[in-house]
């Protein structure tokens, strides 16, 4: 039975991925700054801020999945917050790399989260693919450095995969969790122009892509983890209202309001371009939820 060690395993994606991995027959370990009484999952201590990690975590792992990272949309992007966002991904990954080198263990694969922010916070007619260069803005720079950190594993001879993730749909949590209350009381509306694209993915498809990255040795390098259906913010909100059987007639939330509320972080709400899923599909992955209506009906079966 193979063991998968996960950083950030107690977060939104990590919790779902742990469950999926266990269902698939894997032994799961977590890197955590907090102790746990969950007897089903081994928990190993680490503290990236203090450069501390339990080397027993590395010696027990066949695969490592690096999900750790402070939430991009949780708080305004102050200078301090930007540093936290960066360090929680990049320095944390560097700590894992150092521990792997010190342990002398040979991983079967290192799989790192990344984001479609790699392509920039912009709205354009372009459909971005894995061959495009990183953007020059804050998120593009973060993702570039994040992936450069992962490339150190590849350079050391370990198969490395980078999963550029879109907006993850998980029902009552995450991005949808913030939209649902407004839609349920009948005041759901688009953000800004509503014409910006929202590359999205159902949580089950994302977890299945991670499992494919573990099991398929031909999977190497960067892959976009987004649905093949391109959806604008307005279309997503309209479909969500339809699935929940609620009206959708309120005017869009003005861009200036979001800029006042969120500052530069508002860009992730007001801008977005299409991102291609062709590479992961060509690698043999078949989406369980390829269109937004099917995905939302699955996430809200009770409606």
pLDDT of residue 266: 65
Exposure pattern of 255-277 as b/e (b: 16+ CB <10 Å)? eeebbeebeebbbbbbbbbbbbb
- pLDDT tens for 120-143 read 998 999 999 999 999 999 999 999
Q: Is the pLDDT of residue 61 over 90?
A: yes
CATH no., domain 3-169+200-226+277-283: 3.40.50.720
Positive or negative, the Cα torsion across 227, 229, 234, 235? Answer: negative
From the CB of residue 218, how many other CB atoms can be counted at a distance below 10 Å?
7
Q: Residue ranges of the domains in the chain?
A: 3-169+200-226+277-283
Percent of the chain with pLDDT over 90: 69
Which DSSP category does 109 fall into? E
By CB atoms closer than 10 A (0-12, 13-18, 19+), residue 137 is: middle
Quote the pLDDT of residue 252.
79
Give the per-residue pLDDT at 251.
Answer: 77
**Distance between CA atoms of residues 1 and 24, nearest Å:** 10
pLDDT by residue (tens digit) across 208-266?
999 999 999 999 999 999 999 999 999 999 999 999 998 887 777 777 676 676 676 66
pLDDT at 40: 77
Read out DSSP for 196-255?
A: SB--EEEHHHHHHHHHHHHH-TT--EEEEE--SS--BHHHHHHHHHHHTT----PPPBPH
pLDDT on residue 109: 98
Closest to 41 measured CA to CA, from 60, 68, 22: 22
Q: List the one residue out of 115, 138, 121 whose CA is nearest residue 67.
A: 115
**What is the pLDDT confidence band of residue 36, given thresholds at 50, 70 and 90?**
low
Residues constituting the chain: 303
What tens digit of pLDDT does each residue of 274-303 get?
A: 999 999 999 999 999 999 999 999 999 875
CA distance 164 to 112: 9
Integer Cα distance of 54 and 45 in angstroms = 6
User: Is 37 a residue whose pLDDT tops 60?
Assistant: no
pLDDT of residue 238: 93
What is the Cβ-side half-sphere exposure of residue 247, based on CA atoms within 13 angstroms?
Answer: 6
């Amino acid at each position: 039975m193979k063991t998968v060690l996960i950083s950030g395993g107690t977060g939104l994606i990590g919790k779902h991925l742990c469950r999926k991995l266990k269902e698939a027959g894997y032994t799961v370990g977590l890197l955590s700054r907090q102790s746990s009484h969950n007897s089903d999952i081994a928990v190993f201590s680490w503290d990236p801020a203090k450069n501390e990690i339990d080397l027993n975590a590395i010696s027990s792992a066949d695969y490592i999945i690096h999900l750790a990272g402070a939430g991009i949309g949780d708080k305004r992007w102050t200078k301090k917050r930007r540093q936290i966002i960066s360090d929680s991904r990049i320095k944390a990954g560097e700590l894992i790399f150092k521990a792997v080198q010190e342990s002398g263990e040979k991983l079967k694969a290192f799989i790192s989260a990344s984001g479609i922010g790699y392509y920039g916070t912009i709205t354009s007619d372009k459909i971005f693919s894995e061959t495009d260069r990183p953007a020059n803005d804050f998120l593009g720079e973060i993702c570039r450095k994040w992936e450069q950190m992962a490339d150190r594993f590849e350079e050391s001879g370990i198969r490395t995969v980078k999963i550029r993730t879109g907006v993850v749909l998980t029902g009552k949590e995450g991005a949808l969790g913030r939209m649902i209350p407004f839609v349920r009381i009948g005041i759901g509306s688009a953000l800004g122009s509503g014409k910006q694209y929202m590359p999205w993915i159902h949580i089950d498809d994302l977890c299945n892509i991670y499992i494919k990255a573990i099991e398929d040795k031909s999977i190497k390098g960067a892959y976009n983890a987004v649905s093949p259906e391109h959806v604008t913010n307005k279309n997503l909100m309209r479909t969500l209202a339809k699935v929940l059987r609620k009206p959708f007639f309120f005017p869009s939330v003005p861009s200036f309001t979001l800029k006042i509320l969120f500052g530069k972080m508002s860009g992730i709400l007001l801008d977005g371009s299409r991102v291609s899923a062709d590479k992961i599909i060509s690698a043999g992955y078949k989406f369980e939820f390829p269109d937004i209506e099917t995905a939302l009906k699955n996430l809200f079966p009770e409606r």
